[in-house]
């Protein structure tokens, strides 16, 4: 039996408020293989949830989405991202306030950066939001996986959705 080539996978790292909410939505998408909650964008190595919540680490709560680009494109993931949070609120999503809840796209390649910047420009031009979009687009930094109790948080508690 001949070996079949390994399917190509890409990673998207996105911040849009509480990672529990993001995780629950992205896990439902066809073409998404894995979603992990974690932290990125800060200066502290191996941060804990408690340290990130203190606002001193510089990290945002993020999800790292591993996906099959033959089934779901990076652009499609970003379309979902724009729909599931308010990208016009600085360091806040709903009742969650602090820099760890900022809106951010952490790109992993020049192609992802171009797609992210184009996607943001399209959303801005659409007039969907009355205020300017404050989502930062920045190179991906080290991803730190959140503590196990944060993984599949809503699913483990029998909840089908987050406040969004």
- pLDDT (tens, 9 = 90+) of the chain, 164 residues, equals 343 345 699 999 999 988 777 888 898 899 999 999 999 999 999 998 899 988 899 999 999 999 999 999 999 999 999 999 999 999 988 888 889 999 999 999 999 999 999 999 999 999 999 999 999 999 999 999 986 555 664 555 555 556 54
5 inside domain: no
Question: Given the DSSP bridges, would you call strands 60-67 and 10-16 parallel, antiparallel or unpaired?
Answer: antiparallel
What are the residues facing 139 on neighbouring strands? 107
Q: What's this model's pTM, rounded to 2 decimal places?
A: 0.89
Domain that holds residue 93: 10-150
Residue (of 72, 68, 92) closest to 15 by Cα position: 92
Residue indicated by tokens 């990130």: 52
User: Does residue 3 belong to any structural domain of this protein?
Assistant: no
Strand-pairing partners, residue 138, are 106
Q: Catalytic: which of 18, 21, 53, 162?
A: 18
User: How many domains is the chain built from?
Assistant: 1
Residue 95 within a domain: yes
Torsion over CA of 90, 91, 92 and 93, rounded to 10 degrees?
90
Cα 75 from chain centre: 13
Q: For residue 90, give both structure tokens.
A: 């600085």
Give CA–CA dist 77/151, Å, rounded: 20
In a domain, 143, yes or no: yes
Tell me if 90 is assigned to some domain: yes
Measured in residues, the chain has a length of 164
Residue 158 is assigned to a structural domain of this protein: no
Q: Is residue 38 part of a domain?
A: yes
The answer to whether residue 18 is catalytic is yes
**For residue 110, what is the domain's CATH number?**
3.30.1060.10
Distance CA(140)–CA(62), nearest Å, equals 11
Closest C-alpha among 25, 7, 3 to residue 68: 7
Looking only at the bridges linking them, the beta strands covering 10-16 and 103-107 are antiparallel
In a domain, 70, yes or no: yes
């Amino acid at each position: 039996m001949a070996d079949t080539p390994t399917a190509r996978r890409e990673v998207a790292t996105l911040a849009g408020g509480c990672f529990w909410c993001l995780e629950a939505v992205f896990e439902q998408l066809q073409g998404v293989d894995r979603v992990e909650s974690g932290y990125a964008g800060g200066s502290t190595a191996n941060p804990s949830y408690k340290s990130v919540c203190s606002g001193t680490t510089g990290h945002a709560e993020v999800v790292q989405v591993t996906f099959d680009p033959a089934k779901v494109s990076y652009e499609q993931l970003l379309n979902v991202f724009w729909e599931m949070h308010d990208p016009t609120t600085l360091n806040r999503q709903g009742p969650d306030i602090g820099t760890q809840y900022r809106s951010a796209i952490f790109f992993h390649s020049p192609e992802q950066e171009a797609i992210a910047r184009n996607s943001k420009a399209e959303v801005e031009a659409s007039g969907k939001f009355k205020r300017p979009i404050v989502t930062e687009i920045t190179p991906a930094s080290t991803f730190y996986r959140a503590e196990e109790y944060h993984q599949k948080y809503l699913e483990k508690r029998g909840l089908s959705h987050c406040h969004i």
